[in-house]
């Protein structure tokens, strides 16, 4: 069976002191996890995390990556730079970047491609807003978002991680029910199957108010292969509970 992946998304949170305490507590409690575990941290802390994680099973992730290789792109961070810090994953197309930074499906697809070219696994986020769900457009929206990435990445599609994150569930405490989430994951799986014979290898994560109390039930669904965890990844005990649930699922 494919290993699940629990990835923390710290968003724009942390400090050198807070990171130190959080990561040491996670490492102390994690032991040999029964799933893959990563934390996606703000770029300035990558060097600190690279030292803290040392040779542990805790993988390092970034929250974004430039679509460009190098050059006059003030403020951007390239995939090659991330790789120098031992980064294994990069979130691309998080709804906060789509919403606040105007990222389009095409740009997100190019970011995924830039990450893959450096051997970094993109965690491609897709998800509908509340208005789109209420208008019955959920399937259409997530398929359009994923189609752009499939189109740009051809035979590399099986190397992606996909995260279904309904926008209305992010940071709101409103989680999609396991059945609701599974229904969308099944749509995404079918779309991946049409694109690659290795679609079953792709980990499809759920994200949006996943926490210590609801993780086990979500992770028990057949097409939910892990979680992208925001708020609950900032508390070591909660994050570890989710990691344990994923190891058992």
User: Which residues form the catalytic set?
Assistant: 94, 165
Tokens 């965690």 belong to residue:
123
Size of the site for ligand PGA (CB under 6 A): 13
Under rule CB under 6 A, residue 228 binds ligand PGA = yes
Among 61, 122, 208, 247, binds ligand PGA (CB under 6 A): 208
- The nearest distance, CB 171 to ligand PGA, in angstroms, is 4
- The nearest distance, CB 71 to ligand PGA, in angstroms, is 29
CB-based burial label for 158 (10 Å; 0-12, 13-18, 19+):
middle
- The nearest distance, CB 109 to ligand PGA, in angstroms, is 19
H-helix or E-strand containing 89?
strand 87-92
Site for ligand PGA, residues 94 to 153, rule: CB under 6 A? none
Give dist(CA 29, CA 247) in Å, integer: 13
DSSP state of 196: -
Tokens representing 136 are 């019955």
Give dist(CA 107, CA 148) in Å, integer: 9
- The nearest distance, CB 248 to ligand PGA, in angstroms, is 20
175 versus 191: smaller Cβ distance to ligand PGA: 175
Residue 10: how many other CB atoms lie within 10 Å: 22
Under rule CB under 6 A, residue 230 binds ligand PGA = yes
Under rule CB under 6 A, residue 210 binds ligand PGA = yes
Residue 44: how many other CB atoms lie within 10 Å: 10
Among 4, 5, 6, 9, binds ligand PGA (CB under 6 A): 9
> How big is the CA angle at 234 (ends 232 and 238), to the nearest 5 degrees?
45
- The nearest distance, CB 106 to ligand PGA, in angstroms, is 22
68 versus 235: smaller Cβ distance to ligand PGA: 235
Closest to 235 (Cα-Cα) out of 18, 39, 22, 20? 22
User: Would you give the binding string for ligand PGA spanning residues 147-186, x where CB under 6 A is met?
Assistant: ------------------x----xx---------------
Site for ligand PGA, residues 10 to 39, rule: CB under 6 A? none
Under rule CB under 6 A, residue 219 binds ligand PGA = no
Give the DSSP per-residue string, 111-128.
HHHHHHHTTPEEEEEE--
State the residues that interact with ligand PGA by CB under 6 A. Answer: 9, 165, 170-171, 207-210, 228-232
């Amino acid at each position: 069976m494919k290993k699940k992946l629990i990835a923390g998304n710290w968003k724009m949170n942390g400090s050198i002191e807070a990171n130190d305490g959080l990561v040491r507590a996670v490492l102390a409690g994690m032991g040999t996890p029964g799933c893959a575990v990563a934390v996606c941290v703000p770029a300035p802390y990558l060097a600190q995390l690279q030292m803290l994680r040392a040779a542990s099973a805790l993988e390092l992730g970034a929250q974004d990556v430039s679509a460009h290789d190098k050059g006059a792109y003030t403020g951007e961070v390239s995939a090659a730079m991330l790789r120098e810090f031992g980064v294994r994953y990069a979130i691309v197309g998080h709804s906060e970047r789509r919403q606040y930074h105007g990222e389009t499906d095409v740009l997100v697809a190019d970011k995924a491609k830039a990450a893959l070219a450096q051997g970094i696994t993109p965690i491609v986020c897709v998800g509908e807003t509340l208005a789109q769900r209420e208008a019955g457009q959920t399937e259409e929206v997530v398929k359009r978002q994923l189609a752009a990435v499939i189109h740009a990445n051809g035979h590399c599609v099986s190397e992606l991680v996909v995260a279904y994150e309904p926008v209305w569930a992010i940071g709101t405490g409103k989680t999609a029910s396991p059945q609701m989430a599974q229904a969308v994951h099944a749509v995404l799986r079918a779309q991946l199957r049409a694109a690659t014979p290795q679609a079953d290898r792709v980990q499809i994560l759920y994200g949006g108010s996943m926490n210590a109390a609801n993780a086990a039930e979500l992770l028990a669904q057949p097409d939910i292969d892990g979680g992208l965890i925001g708020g609950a990844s900032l508390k070591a005990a909660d994050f570890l509970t989710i990691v344990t649930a994923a190891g058992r699922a």
